[in-house]
Amino acid sequence: MAGFWDARARPFWTGSVKSGLSVGTLREDILNEMFIWRPILAGKVTLEAVNLGHVDLVQLVKLNDLMNWEAACSQVKPEG
């Protein structure tokens, strides 16, 4: 239970959902883990698959690069 109370005492995100301009800030440890959380949040992998080791760190790095590539491709306007 100590992990739970630490998480409550030091929130992973601070901000306000209602704050029109700022989305708040994430704790540094979460930012350092973002290459893991980003594919999970995007629905590319599950938290369970990561926790069970079915997805390794190299695959997560590849997924992030592929997601960056997809985003870049969506910004390119077709010629013509």
State the SS3 of 7-56.
HHHCCCEECCCCCCCCCCEECHHHHHCHHHHHHHHCCCCCHHHHHCCCCC
Closest to 36 measured CA to CA, from 61, 13, 12, 17: 61
CA angle 23, 28, 34 (to 5 degrees): 75
- Cα separation, 47 vs 16, whole angstroms: 25
Task: Give the predicted TM-score (pTM) of the model.
Answer: 0.79
Which is more confidently placed, 20 or 61? 61
- pLDDT tens-digit series, residues 21-75: 678 899 999 999 999 999 999 999 999 999 999 999 999 999 999 999 999 999 9
Is residue 19 over pLDDT 60? no
Arithmetic mean of pLDDT, 7-14? 87
